[in-house]
């Protein structure tokens, strides 16, 4: 079996982060989301992986390389424009050839991995196997209608959902998916939809099985979901202290601190992870916070947030919460006159002031 990871797309819902970076490389608990997909695929025994890449191809290729670090062989497949998940399958045909494959959305995280699901697919050999999860907001997802575990209908983001079963971003297919992706037409939003391709399989009388997952799954396409994924992964964190923690500081709960980092006169309440070469001084880091490498946090408080590398947060009077702070960002108090907020914000930035 092969794997196809989708790491193209436009990532509009995560702007401005995606103006400069691939959303699949945003770290969750200080590890790029895409690495979790690589690990899950490798754990399922699959080593031949195609990765769909778009505008952010250089960054993805630099992060994943030839896949050797996971014991895998990676082939990059360039998608000129994000024309849909089924379009990604279409252009991957020369790589996938006749082999069955698992398709994994590169911005999705699935707690229990895919090993059991791949085994089941190989044992039952349907034409396709989709994963479903009960969700509160099915209108935001592809939604399935079932008869037993057989799928009878799929609709992309329905206005009136016929169930609360959303399609999870991991799908398994055999070669019958290629005539399907070649037959369907673009949807109203101009994309070749994978739901339409799977519906085509159903309409042709082919076998599409489903599996309802019970462990958590997160599509990290939006800020709140990214923070939620970070929270869920950090819940499994184990304490590991490689940096220096001074006498005046207090660590509570599960905390990881990377080498070269210094914690000075601060309180860190886990689960929280701090990368390498950070300085946390006279500050509070609260639960569900991930701080990446070389960050300076001084006289400030932060909780339930993700801070990317090389950023600086200094002397912020109120607590920062529910935030995603990009690379090399400066957030600081300015005592200069006249007293004023001074911003330099990228397009589509969001700021909430007190």
Between 10 and 49, how does the x/- string for binding to ligand TTP read (CB under 6 A)? xxxx----------x-------------------------
Contacts to ligand TTP from residues 198-227, by CB under 6 A: 221
Q: Is 85 in the site for ligand TTP (CB under 6 A)?
A: yes
Contacts to ligand TTP from residues 59-78, by CB under 6 A: none
**Could you give the CA distance from residue 344 to residue 331 in angstroms, rounded to a whole number?**
10
Q: Which of 67, 106, 243, 270 binds ligand TTP (CB under 6 A)?
A: 106
For the bound state, the minimum distance from the C-beta of residue 142 to ligand TTP, rounded and expressed in Å, comes to 10
Name the one range near ligand TTP by CB under 6 A: 84-92, 118-126, 148-156, 245-253: 84-92
Q: Which of 2, 42, 57, 87 binds ligand TTP (CB under 6 A)?
A: 87
Q: Which of 63, 72, 83, 206 binds ligand TTP (CB under 6 A)?
A: 83
**Could you give the CA distance from residue 196 to residue 317 in angstroms, rounded to a whole number?**
51
Handedness of CA 163, 166, 172, 174 (dihedral sign): positive
**Could you give the CA distance from residue 59 to residue 331 in angstroms, rounded to a whole number?**
26
- Alpha carbon of residue 318 to chain centroid: 29
**Could you give the CA distance from residue 36 to residue 107 in angstroms, rounded to a whole number?**
9
Considering the complex, state which of residue 70 and residue 284 has its C-beta at the smaller distance from ligand TTP: 70
Q: Which contacts qualify for 147-150: CB closer than 8 Å, 24 or more apart?
A: 149/209, 149/210, 149/211, 150/207, 150/208, 150/209, 150/210
Number of residues located near ligand TTP, criterion CB under 6 A: 22
Please, which residues have CB within 8 angstroms of residue 189's CB and are 6 or more apart in sequence? none
Considering the complex, state which of residue 27 and residue 221 has its C-beta at the smaller distance from ligand TTP: 221
Name the one range near ligand TTP by CB under 6 A: 58-66, 99-107, 194-202, 308-316: 99-107
Q: Is 6 in the site for ligand TTP (CB under 6 A)?
A: yes
Q: Is 88 in the site for ligand TTP (CB under 6 A)?
A: yes
3-class SS of residue 232? helix
Considering the complex, state which of residue 57 and residue 211 has its C-beta at the smaller distance from ligand TTP: 57
Q: Of the candidates 36, 67, 40, 39, which has an alpha carbon nearest to the alpha carbon of residue 51?
A: 67
Q: Is 9 in the site for ligand TTP (CB under 6 A)?
A: yes
**Could you give the CA distance from residue 274 to residue 264 in angstroms, rounded to a whole number?**
13
Please, which residues have CB within 8 angstroms of residue 143's CB and are 6 or more apart in sequence? 154, 155, 157, 158, 161, 162, 163, 164, 165, 166, 167
Token reading at 124: 């039952």
Considering the complex, state which of residue 106 and residue 161 has its C-beta at the smaller distance from ligand TTP: 106
Q: Is 84 in the site for ligand TTP (CB under 6 A)?
A: yes
Q: Which of 2, 4, 8, 261 binds ligand TTP (CB under 6 A)?
A: 8
Between 177 and 196, how does the x/- string for binding to ligand TTP read (CB under 6 A)? --------------x-----
Name the one range near ligand TTP by CB under 6 A: 4-12, 89-97, 140-148, 299-307: 4-12
Cβ–Cβ < 8 Å for 75, 96: no
Strand 284-285's sheet: what is its strand order?
A: 250-252, 267-269, 284-285, 301-303, 319-321
Cβ–Cβ < 8 Å for 234, 272: yes
Considering the complex, state which of residue 70 and residue 141 has its C-beta at the smaller distance from ligand TTP: 141
List residues near ligand TTP by CB under 6 A. 6-13, 24, 52, 79, 82-85, 87-88, 105-107, 191, 221
């Amino acid at each position: 079996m092969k794997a196809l990871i989708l790491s193209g797309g436009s990532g509009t819902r995560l702007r401005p982060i995606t103006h400069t970076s691939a959303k699949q490389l945003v770290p969750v608990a200080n590890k790029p989301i895409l690495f979790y997909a690589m690990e899950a695929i490798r754990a399922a025994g699959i080593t031949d992986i195609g990765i769909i890449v778009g505008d952010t191809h250089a960054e993805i290729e630099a992060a994943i390389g030839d896949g050797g670090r996971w014991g895998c062989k990676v082939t990059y497949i360039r998608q000129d424009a994000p024309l849909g998940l089924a379009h990604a399958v279409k252009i991957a045909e020369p790589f996938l050839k006749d082999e069955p494959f698992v398709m994994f959305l590169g911005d999705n995280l699935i707690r229990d991995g895919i090993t059991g699901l791949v085994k089941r697919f190989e044992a039952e050999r349907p034409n396709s196997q989709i994963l479903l999860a009960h969700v509160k907001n099915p209108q935001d997802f592809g939604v399935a209608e079932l008869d037993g575990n057989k799928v009878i209908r799929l609709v992309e983001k329905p206005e009136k959902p016929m169930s609360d079963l959303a399609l999870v971003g991991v799908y398994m297919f055999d070669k019958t998916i290629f005539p399907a992706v070649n037959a369907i037409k673009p949807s109203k939003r101009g994309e070749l939809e994978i739901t339409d391709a799977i519906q085509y399989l159903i309409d042709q009388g082919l076998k599409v099985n489903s599996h309802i997952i019970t462990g958590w799954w997160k599509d990290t396409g939006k800020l709140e979901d990214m923070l939620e994924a970070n929270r869920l992964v950090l819940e499994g964190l184990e304490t590991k202290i490689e940096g220096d923690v001074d006498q005046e500081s207090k660590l509570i709960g599960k905390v990881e601190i990377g080498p070269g980092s210094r914690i000075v006169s601060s309180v860190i309440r886990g689960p929280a992870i701090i990368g390498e070469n950070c300085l946390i001084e006279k500050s509070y880091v609260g639960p569900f916070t991930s701080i990446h490498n070389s960050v300076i946090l001084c006289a400030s408080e932060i909780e339930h947030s993700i801070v990317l590398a090389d950023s600086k947060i200094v002397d912020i009077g109120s607590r920062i919460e529910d935030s995603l702070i990009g690379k090399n960002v400066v957030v600081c108090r300015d005592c200069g006159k006249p007293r004023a907020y001074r911003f330099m914000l990228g397009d589509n930035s969001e700021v909430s002031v007190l």
